[in-house]
Every structure is written in structure tokens, then in C-alpha cells.
Amino acid sequence: MDFNDKTVIITGASRGIGAAAARIFADAGAKVALLARDEAALRALSDEIGASALSFPCDVSNFSNVSAAVSQVCETWGKIDVLINNAGMIEPISRLADADPADWAKLIDVNVTGVFNGMRAVLPQMKKSGGGTIITVSSGAAHRPLEGWSAYCTSKAGAAMLTRALDLEERANGIRAMGLSPGTVATQMQREIKASGVNAVSQLDWEEHISAEWPARTLKWMCTADADAFVGEEVSLRDEEIRRRVGLA
């Protein structure tokens, strides 16, 4: 894909995979719209990237916030070609018997409803312009339970099902819906996991986590025709064949 005339929206863009993806897509020539709650971090990243970036302080769990950002992107750049649903949280890390109900519900609002909100907000414009790519950052946690991660595992399973539902309903309208399971990535989320001391993931050495640049490069590859065979599916970055196709070591 030639990204020079493409517009990419990235949620959770203030740090980690989202920020790395913003840099990768911008370096490829795309215009990038950055959505996250951390206004100062977004502004700094937008300033770093330059004129091809716009920042939108936004709570993805609030549809009005997301819809307003999408409308502004369309008004400024005319269209949306790619949505990267990356925003997510890991807390509360807690056994079910001890979990705070409000914290548990907030995670579901961000990790599941936030994904729906992004899809719902961009679909009318994408369908009108003939299609687009919607990628949701998933996790191995979508497919198996882990101690203390009832909220996170449930949310990722829900987001994975949303991706499958989107593919079922909109593939015929040109929508390329996919998920990316990146494995463990050296981000702030992994620091929170490490600090919790709960389950085997918290015991991993920092050197075992991959750089955020790897999933960012994979997200860009997933927007190209070389990834068409994976539409409707979840791509795993643990797969050596995927790493080879992306061009990762």
C-alpha cells in the first residue's frame, strides 16, 4: 500500500504500541490522527511528527468523544482509511473475589465498548468511500484465562468477537477487519503487570518482551495486500512466518 494519501486513526496513541504505530505510519507518508486521554503526551507526539499528525484528547469509552474526533478528521483530511483500535488497560489485576466492581466495569468500558465505539464511528465514512481497514490489538489473553486477569481476559475475548462480527457483517462492503495478538511488549502495561506479582506473566524478565516497534510495523503490514489472507482473523506475532513476512528479526 502507498500510504502517502492515507489517513490513519490510532487510539491509545500517547504511548507504547500506539505511539510507535503513529511514528511508523507517519514515516510511511500517512496522515495520523492520535486519540488518547493524555493530552500533554499527545501534543508532544503530534509536535514530534509534524504537520501530518493531529491530536484529539479523547476517552474511547465515550462514543460522543470518539465520534467528534472522527468527524474532525474527516472534515480536515476528507476520509479515513485505517482505524487502529489500540487503547486498552490492564487494571484491575485482582482475583475475582477481591475485584472492585467499578474498576472491573471501567476496564470493560475501555477495552470492549471503546473498540465498538471506534468501529461504529468510522464505519459510515469507510463504507461511503468504498472500504477501509480496522485492526484491533488483541492478546493471547483473549483465548485463555489467567489468574487475576478476569477483566482483561474477558475484555480481549469480547474485542476478538467484535472483530469477527465486523468481518461477518461488513467484509462485502470493503471492510478489512483483523486482530493483532502481539505477545508481551515492553510497554508501561508490562510494568504494571510486573508490579502486581500475579501469574506467570509478571515473572517474565524484561528482556523477554519485544519492542513496541515490532507490533507497530506489523500493523502497517496488515494494511497491505500481502495480509489479505488474514482478513477476518487474528494475526499472532509469536508466529515466525508472520515475523518473516513483516520483515522482523
Neighbours of 234 (CB within 10 A): 18
Cβ atoms of residues 149 and 104 within 8 Å:
no
SS3 state at 27:
helix
Cβ atoms of residues 214 and 207 within 8 Å:
no
Q: How many residues would you count in the chain?
A: 249
* Catalytic entry in 152, 155, 163, 184: 152
Output the DSSP codes for 77-141.
Answer: HS---EEEE--------B-GGG--HHHHHHHHIIIIIHHHHHHHHHHHHHHHTT-EEEEEE--GG
Cβ atoms of residues 168 and 154 within 8 Å:
no
Known catalytic residue at 146: no
* Residues identified as active-site: 152
